[in-house]
Structure 1
Amino acid sequence: MSAIEVEKVIIVEGTSDKRKVLNVVNEPVEIICTNGTISLTRLDEMVDELFSRDVYVLVDSDDSGDRLRKQFKREFPEAAHLFIDKMYREVATAPDQHVAAVLLSANIDVHAKFL
């Protein structure tokens, strides 16, 4: 039995961000944690692995997130960038309803209870 490749990939900074997104999303997605930084070598590998998939970058609205976002824009311009309101700063601490609205704006299905 072969594994089915999930079409959508969401890149987040940490495991708490991953838990937040998993709680809200209502479709199969792969979530990749960068742990706040990513080497150029690993980023190049990711670009090759994810080339034919829909990739979304959802990082915190802080200096670390901005640096990571700039790196992805340079090395992986095909990725779509999703933004948490600066008022919340972090994906993990943003209200579920806000994260759901951000994901829904990118045509990612979310649980109805968060709308």
Structure 2
Amino acid sequence: MSLVNFLNELQTKPENIEFPGVIAAIDQYYDFEPTAFQNGETRNEAGQNSGSCKLFSFAQLQGFTKQQTLDCFGAYYRTDVLGNPEGTDHQNIRNFIRFGWEGIKFEGEALRLK
């Protein structure tokens, strides 16, 4: 999927967005460097939770809103987190809901355009 098509889909049909497709789009256009990052109360070491690292970095580069970023997590957000608000899985999503962009701090640049 082209970046333009992905961004259009995110704007018009966010309920159709799925995490694997987002990661595939990121991988198509960006080189990834595993990077440590803080997400609210959760610290992720370089190489840990690389999917979340890619997604948050991409969303930040694109200027996504908090909701657009959450929509990029697809079923992990819509089903696993919203369907079980008291759950303990998907801590990066749960912390982002709580802390938003103010809680995201990267220790380097995770993505570079190819």
Same fold (TM > 0.5): no
Greater fraction helix? 2
Greater fraction strand? 1
Give TM-score, length-normalised by structure 1: 0.27
**Greater relative contact order (CA < 8 Å, ≥ 6 in sequence):** 2
